[in-house]
Amino acid sequence: MALVAAEKSIVVYGDSLSAAYGIAQARGWVALLASRVAREYPDYRVANASVSGETTSGGLARLAKTLEQHKPAVVILELGANDGLRGLPVAELKKNLGAMIERAHAAGARVLLVGMKLPPNYGPDYTRSFEDAYAELAKRYRTALLPFLLEGFAEKREFFQPDRIHPTEAAQPLIEARVWQALEPLLK
């Protein structure tokens, strides 16, 4: 009788940037990542628990159910952009993300924290504090960190939908490649 390895779950827990806003789900970076994981680490599966418009407080409120449902080995935590765009206090962002990391760790999951940057119109103090929050949290909780999801193309308009916030289909492979670099060490 052959033994089959149990599937391990990777949960992508994010906002519209992970929910493939404005493009077909099958063409979003999470679907691309799921295909790569299936090829290279077939004992893992990827679940996308991202919700467009999600803030860190909303994410925190629904995390327990997601952890129970998927029992992830890895959580890719991509939240905070909507907090920043709404100008919510950085202390609240840090408190909520920290609580999510703690809960994921308590559930036995490793965490990849995905950082975000804001447009400069929020002022230098707020934008610096916002960006620094991710590195501070990753250090405090000893999690993996992808400093900026849109690194390498954020300044290129052709990679964004007309709202200039959401990446186009052409940008999705670039995002997937960045996430993969940070995720793969957690799968070995």
Q: Quick check: is 16 catalytic?
A: yes
Q: How far apart are CA 167 and CA 186, in angstroms?
A: 26
Q: How far apart are CA 40 and CA 90, in angstroms?
A: 37
**Which tokens hold the place of 128?**
């610096």
Catalytic residue among 52, 57, 105, 166: 166
- Degrees (nearest 5) of the Cα angle 104, 186, 39? 115
Please report, for residues 33, 40, 43, 169, 173, the alpha-carbon distance to residue 26 in angstroms, rounded to integers and kept in the order given: 10, 19, 21, 10, 12
Burial pattern 58-67, b for ≥16 Cβ within 10 A else e, equals: bbbeebeebb
Q: How far apart are CA 166 and CA 169, in angstroms?
A: 10
Q: Quick check: is 15 catalytic?
A: no
**Phi, psi (rounded to 5 degrees) for 92:** -70, -40
Q: Quick check: is 163 catalytic?
A: yes
Catalytic residue among 16, 18, 50, 129: 16
Catalytic machinery residues: 16, 163, 166
